[in-house]
Amino acid sequence: MNEIQVKYRDWELFSDRETTEQTYSEFENSGAESCGCDYCKNYIAQRETVFPDDIKELFKKLGIDYMKEIEISEFAKLENGLHYYNGWFHFKGDKGLYNSITKWWLHV
């Protein structure tokens, strides 16, 4: 395994970026695209803009394709019409205090 160390806030992550990128390249569709419900369609329409630049950079360093979430689900609709979503992205790694990022809360 060819791991790199990635630091993000208080996290120290170890990722096999090459294996992670290869794994994501094998997915034809994201979790939301595979589902196709209205909530997932809404998320897909907003996906380019929901992640802050620092998260996109973190995903890039880890080898994660942010356009291919493993799973996404709508958590709640707010009074202002926005939706809370939670989603999962995985990466390959075998050491570190935290070695996966499991949940992001998004306003879409």
Contact yes or no for 17/61 (Cβ under 8 A): yes
pLDDT value of position 95: 64
- What does DSSP say about strands 71-77 and 11-15: parallel, antiparallel, or unpaired? unpaired
First to last CA, the chain: 37
Domains of the chain by residue range? 4-107
pLDDT value of position 105: 45
pLDDT value of position 33: 94
Which residue ranges of the chain lie beneath pLDDT 70?
Answer: 1, 95-108
Integer Cα distance of 46 and 87 in angstroms: 14
